[in-house]
Structures are given as structure tokens and as C-alpha cells.
A and B are shown apart, each in its own frame.
Chain A
Amino acid sequence: MNRRVRQRQRWDFLMAVVSYAMTGIVLFILGAILWALLWNGISAIEPAMFTESTPAPGNEGGLANAIVGSLMMTVIAILIATPIGIMAGTYLAEYGKEGRVASIVRFINDVLLSAPSIIVGLFIYGVVVTTMGHFSGWAGAAALAVIALPIVVRTTEDMLTLIPDSLREAGAAIGAPRWMVITQISYRAAFSGMLTGVLLAIARISGETAPLLFTALNNQFWSTNLNDPMANLPVVIFQFAMSPYEDWQRLAWGGALLITTAVLLLNIFARVISTRNKGRA
């Protein structure tokens, strides 16, 4: 073997080591983040966290109001975004296809999908908060819905496009009109994929903080009134973590562990559903 060949092999080996190392570092960081969450958060997870509302500094308390607020706004946001998103995704995949309207809407959806979430907060502030005259749970839910919508549209379209046309043709051949083919055949075949999209949207919005800062704001007290400012986990975590009080910081870690666990479980669950579906098709 001459020197040139050996040099090339050495270079190849070096680059392989570098890319192994890079992957290793990133996986290590993922581990470090999860470890830090567990280490700091586990001690804050106690029954009081789920039964008491956010305390004043130095007092005992929990995150009950924030957890309930987050759940309420997330559920409302998903209830708004899912039907709209599925209908729009249906249009793109079943009617629009490669047409002019569909490609424009697809581009618009991509813009919405990747628009900074704080801009969504500004938008809802301008539309909902200024109209109502005050911050509210409705505004928070609306902001989350705007973030969830493009995700649902995207996955619905992708999943419907995957359905083979022969299935639709079979439906049409026995006399089913188009709408029936879509609702009875396409939706059923793509169901688990579309469900995955909704689950991912839930995972995404349950950790969103920026759009809630000036829509739902925060609320120190127990409240289920959507017309009032509403406590929510992300904003409480932000506020408590940035505070100098140690008991607040401890609660912030507990909340962070809670959110991350929920988000990661949702992601894994969604992935399991979609791969099981792939295995069947």
C-alpha cells in the first residue's frame, strides 16, 4: 500500500471518529437534560403539587391551577384546530392536489408551521386580547389553536396522500359519491396517521410558552373561568424559574419534569401508533 492510500484511509477513519463523537456528544446532552430534570424535579413531585395552587414566595403550594389551566386551554385549542385542520388537509389531498390553490395554501401552511410562536402571540393579542380588553384563557386557547392547526393540516394531507387510489376507485366503483369515499374509506384507512398528527400537535402546544405570555398571561389563583387570565404550566415555570426564590425554583423544576414527561410520552405513543400502522399497510 502506498502512502497516498494510507493517507486517504486515515482521513476516512478520522472523519468517522468525528461523526461518532458528534452523535455521542448530542446523545450525552439529551441524557444530561433528562437527568437534570429528574434530579431536580422528582423531589418537587408530591401530592400537594396537584392539589394546591401556586403559592406566594416562602409559602407552601403546588401547581394545581396551572395544570388545570394548561389542560383546559390545550383541550380547547385541539378541539378548534382538529376539525379545521382535517378539513383543510382533506381539501389539499383529495381535491386540490397539484392545483394552483392547493400549492399556494400548502406554502401558507408551511409559513404558519414555522412562524415564530411569539408572533402568533402578538397576532392573538391584536385580535382577541385588544377586542376583549383583557388577557384571557380564551385568548391563550386561540393562540395554541393557531399553532396546532398547521401541524394537523400537514399530517392529515400527508397521510391521505399515502392512501392508494385503488381503494378510492373501489369505493367509487360501487357507487359511493366522493364525500362518502373520503369519509368512509380514506379517513378510515388514514385514521391512525391522522391521530398521530393530532397527538403530535398536542405534544407541541402543551410545552409552548411564548404565545401564552401575552394572551393567557398567568393567574396566581385557582380559576376555571376562561374569560379571566389563566394560569398555565409553561408561563408559571418561566416565572418561577427566573425568580430568586428557591421554593419557586423547586416548583418550576417539578413542573418542567411534568411537562417533559407528558410531551415525550405523547411523542413516543404517537410514534408507536404510526409505526404499527405502517407495519400493517
Chain B
Amino acid sequence: MVESVAPALQGVGTRKSRFAMRWGDPIFWGATLFFTLVLFALLCGVIAVLLVGGWPALAHSGIAFLWTAHWNPVTDTYGAVVPLIGTIETSVIAMLIGVPFSFGMAIFLTELCPHRLRQPIAIAIELLAAIPSIIYGMWGLFIVVPLFQHHVEPALKTTLGNIPLLGNLFSGPPIGIGVLLAGLILGLMVLPFITSVMREVFASVPPVLRESAYGLGATRWEVVWRVVLPYCRNGVAGAVMLGLGRALGETMAVTFVIGNAHRLSLSLLAPGTTISATLANEFTEAVGDIYTSALVALGLVLFVLTFLVLALGKKLLLGARAEGAEGEVLA
């Protein structure tokens, strides 16, 4: 690789190369810095567009936008509550499924898996992350919805549905499409991300710790639960936050299977909506400035929410990296 420099230096001393030697560095440095600032400008631009676009609606409804449940384009009343709750509800379901599975898979890949299978399985899981979200949506709509409608939901209703209080979560007709399925598919989608961050966090545990625990006669599970997990508490929490950030903003997969109903329902089987699904469904059809602006304001709420979750996740992972010292933790 190095010999390639020599021809570039052959012209040293000529006028052209003297220019390059004198001004090449400041020019190149300036160019890289300029394009770095493009990133900065982009983020400022995103925030500015969301603020300016959402302002008319926020001025129209006031801060009550955040706790108004009505969403009625006809009377021009807009509130963020229904999509916001839907976003949080689906993300929580996604986490309830995604986190234990990611944990189990990360353990499998770092502790249990035969060495020869480790790489192929890790790659397969990463391919799961590469599949576009629209494919998850289609698969959910055409394959999983009928399954849910005819088998899973009726079963849930006859079992969990009969328990007082908890049963309310599983009431209503089993139509397949709904909050529960959206959450499930989201959980499947965030799973590879959480798994890969968790794996890296687990790998950052110094072998000495692990070996000394085994030396004391601990079982594999005890090593994972009492040594590895406490050691990477922050990293694991960071991984979960990054997953949550993805779940909150995911659009297409949810839009396919949630049913897009602006209705507050206690039942997880009922159709609902999320902020991103509302945007995907209504934005191009929105007529009237306030309506469009209300949708942009929803986008602003989503952006702030994901920003906070991601910032928290990054902070936890950076803390984990500082603790983990040698281990490289990619966030």
C-alpha cells in the first residue's frame, strides 16, 4: 500500500506540486469539516421543519394537544393521545417479547453455541435485521393475521380472557389485526438489534471474571445471571433502550397490521394506531393547513420521544464502555 505514495511524490519541486504541498492540507481539512457541518445542518433542519410545520397546530390546540384524545379533521380538533398511547403500547409489547428473546439468544451465542455454528447463526440473525420493514408488514398481514384470527386470539380469549381485570385486555372480536399483533411483529423486528448489542456487551466481560466464577463451581446459568449480567447491567439497559428507540419509530410493519383506528381501547385485540402509522396513512390525504400541521406536530412528538430514549441508551452504553475498559462496545 505504501509504495503507491511514491509516484504521487515524484513531482515534488514542480510548481503544481508546491501548490499542492502548501494548500492541499488546509483545503482538504476545510472540505472534510464543511461536510461534517452538513450533518449538523441536517439535524437542525429536521428540528426546524418539525417545529415550524407543527406550530400552527400547536398554537391552535395549545399544549392540550398532548392530552387531547379527539382526532377529528372535520371539526379541526386534534390531540396526540390516541396515537401516542398506541406507540407506547406497541413498543412495550415489543420489548416484552424482544428483550427476553434477545437475552436468550445472546446467551446462546456467547455461552452455549458450538463454535462452528456461532458465525452462521449470528449472520442469520443479522439478516433478520436486514429484511425491509415492509416485508415484515406483508408477512404479518397475509400469513400471521389469519393465524391470529382463527387460532391465537380465540385461544387467548378463552384462557386469559376469563380472568377478571386482565381479561379486559383480551376482549372484543378476534379479527387478527390489532395492537397485540403489531407489538409482536415489532418485537421480532427489534430483536436482532438488541441481540447484537447484547452480544458485544457480553463479550466485553473480562474472561478472568467468568473463569473465577466457574472455578468456584458455578453453573453456566449462575455465571450468566450472577456475574455476566450484573457486570454489564448498563450495557444491557443501553441495548434495550436502542431497541425501544427503533420500536417507537417503526412505521411500515405497524401500518400493515394495526388497523389504523383512532380509538382508545382497553383491549389489545382491538385495532389502534401509532404516531408513525397515522403519518403514513393520513399525511398525503390531509386537507387543510391545521390538519397537515397537526400531523407534523405528531412527528415532532415522536422525534422528541425517540431522541430521549436513544440519548439515554447511548449514555448507558458509553457508561458501560467506560466500565468495560478493554471491551469494545459498539452502540
Which stretch from A10-18, A52-60, A220-228 is at the chain B interface? A10-18
Residues 39-55 of A contacting B (Cβ, < 8 Å): 40
A30 to B127, Cβ gap below 8 A?
yes
Which of the residues B4, B130, B280 comes within 8 Å of A263, measured between beta carbons? Answer: B130
Chain A neighbourhood of B139, CB < 8 A: 32-33, 36-37
A95 to B39, Cβ gap below 8 A?
no
The reply on A137 being an interface residue by CB < 8 A is no
Which of the residues A88, A120, A214 comes within 8 Å of B32, measured between beta carbons? Answer: A88
Chain B neighbourhood of A30, CB < 8 A: 124-125, 127-128
Which of the residues B42, B104, B248 comes within 8 Å of A18, measured between beta carbons? Answer: B104
Which of the residues A167, A188, A210 comes within 8 Å of B276, measured between beta carbons? Answer: A210
A26 to B105, Cβ gap below 8 A?
yes
Which of the residues B2, B42, B107 comes within 8 Å of A112, measured between beta carbons? Answer: B42
Known: A8-B222, A119-B299. A153 touches B246 (CB 8 A): no
Chain A neighbourhood of B132, CB < 8 A: 206-209, 234, 259-260, 263
Between A23, A167, A234, the greatest number of chain B beta carbons within 10 A of the residue's beta carbon is seen for A23
A119 to B42, Cβ gap below 8 A?
no
Residues 56-98 of B contacting A (Cβ, < 8 Å): none
**A237 vs B253: C-alpha distance when bound (angstroms):** 12
The reply on A76 being an interface residue by CB < 8 A is no
Which of the residues B21, B49, B50, B112 comes within 8 Å of A177, measured between beta carbons? Answer: B21
Interface code B219-230, partner A: CB below 8 Å = 1, 0 otherwise? Answer: 111101000000
The reply on B148 being an interface residue by CB < 8 A is no
Residues 113-160 of B contacting A (Cβ, < 8 Å): 113, 121, 123-128, 130-139, 141-143
B314 to A9, Cβ gap below 8 A?
no
**A111 vs B283: C-alpha distance when bound (angstroms):** 24
A110 to B143, Cβ gap below 8 A?
no
Interface size on A, residues (CB 8 A): 101
The reply on A61 being an interface residue by CB < 8 A is no
B52 to A126, Cβ gap below 8 A?
yes
Residue of B nearest to A176 (CB): B5
Secondary structure type dominating chain A contacts: helix
A150 to B39, Cβ gap below 8 A?
yes
Interface code B1-41, partner A: CB below 8 Å = 1, 0 otherwise? Answer: 11011101100100000001100110111011111101110
Residue of B nearest to A260 (CB): B135
Residue of A nearest to B22 (CB): A177
**A209 vs B255: C-alpha distance when bound (angstroms):** 11
Chain B neighbourhood of A207, CB < 8 A: 131-135
User: A112-B42, A127-B45 known; 12 other A-B pairs, CB under 8 Å?
Assistant: A29-B188, A94-B32, A110-B314, A122-B53, A122-B296, A150-B39, A177-B20, A180-B24, A234-B252, A242-B256, A252-B138, A267-B130
B39 to A119, Cβ gap below 8 A?
no
Chain B neighbourhood of A132, CB < 8 A: none
A111 to B43, Cβ gap below 8 A?
yes
| Distance in Å: Cβ of A178 to nearest Cβ of chain B | 5
The reply on B310 being an interface residue by CB < 8 A is yes
Interface code A157-186, partner B: CB below 8 Å = 1, 0 otherwise? Answer: 000000000010011001111111111110
The reply on B176 being an interface residue by CB < 8 A is no
Which stretch from B199-207, B232-240, B301-309 is at the chain A interface? B301-309
**A191 vs B1: C-alpha distance when bound (angstroms):** 11
A179 to B25, Cβ gap below 8 A?
yes
B31 to A87, Cβ gap below 8 A?
yes
A263 to B296, Cβ gap below 8 A?
no
Instruction: Give the interface size bracket for B toward A.
Output: 35 or more
The reply on A97 being an interface residue by CB < 8 A is no
Known: A27-B124, A182-B28. A122 touches B299 (CB 8 A): yes
Chain A neighbourhood of B242, CB < 8 A: 114
B4 to A188, Cβ gap below 8 A?
yes
Chain B neighbourhood of A206, CB < 8 A: 132
Chain A neighbourhood of B5, CB < 8 A: 171, 174, 176, 180-181, 184-185
Which of the residues A84, A116, A241, A263 comes within 8 Å of B35, measured between beta carbons? Answer: A84
Chain B neighbourhood of A188, CB < 8 A: 1, 4
B39 to A217, Cβ gap below 8 A?
no
The reply on A79 being an interface residue by CB < 8 A is no
Between B21, B28, B306, the greatest number of chain A beta carbons within 10 A of the residue's beta carbon is seen for B28
Which of the residues B4, B105, B143 comes within 8 Å of A184, measured between beta carbons? Answer: B4
Which of the residues A8, A108, A213 comes within 8 Å of B40, measured between beta carbons? Answer: A108
**A12 vs B306: C-alpha distance when bound (angstroms):** 37
B296 to A109, Cβ gap below 8 A?
no
Chain A neighbourhood of B179, CB < 8 A: none
Which of the residues B221, B249, B284 comes within 8 Å of A217, measured between beta carbons? Answer: B284
The reply on B258 being an interface residue by CB < 8 A is no
Which of the residues A95, A115, A175 comes within 8 Å of B46, measured between beta carbons? Answer: A115
The reply on A195 being an interface residue by CB < 8 A is no
B141 to A26, Cβ gap below 8 A?
no
**A255 vs B84: C-alpha distance when bound (angstroms):** 32
Chain B neighbourhood of A267, CB < 8 A: 126-127, 130
A118 to B249, Cβ gap below 8 A?
yes
Residues 277-302 of B contacting A (Cβ, < 8 Å): 279-280, 283-284, 296, 299, 302
The reply on A117 being an interface residue by CB < 8 A is yes
| Distance in Å: Cβ of B87 to nearest Cβ of chain A | 10
B46 to A119, Cβ gap below 8 A?
yes
Between A115, A203, A214, A237, the greatest number of chain B beta carbons within 10 A of the residue's beta carbon is seen for A115
B24 to A177, Cβ gap below 8 A?
yes
Q: Can you list 16 contacts pairing A with B, beta carbon distance less than 8 Å?
A: A19-B107, A30-B127, A32-B139, A88-B35, A88-B39, A91-B35, A92-B36, A111-B307, A115-B306, A118-B249, A122-B53, A174-B5, A176-B9, A209-B252, A242-B141, A256-B134
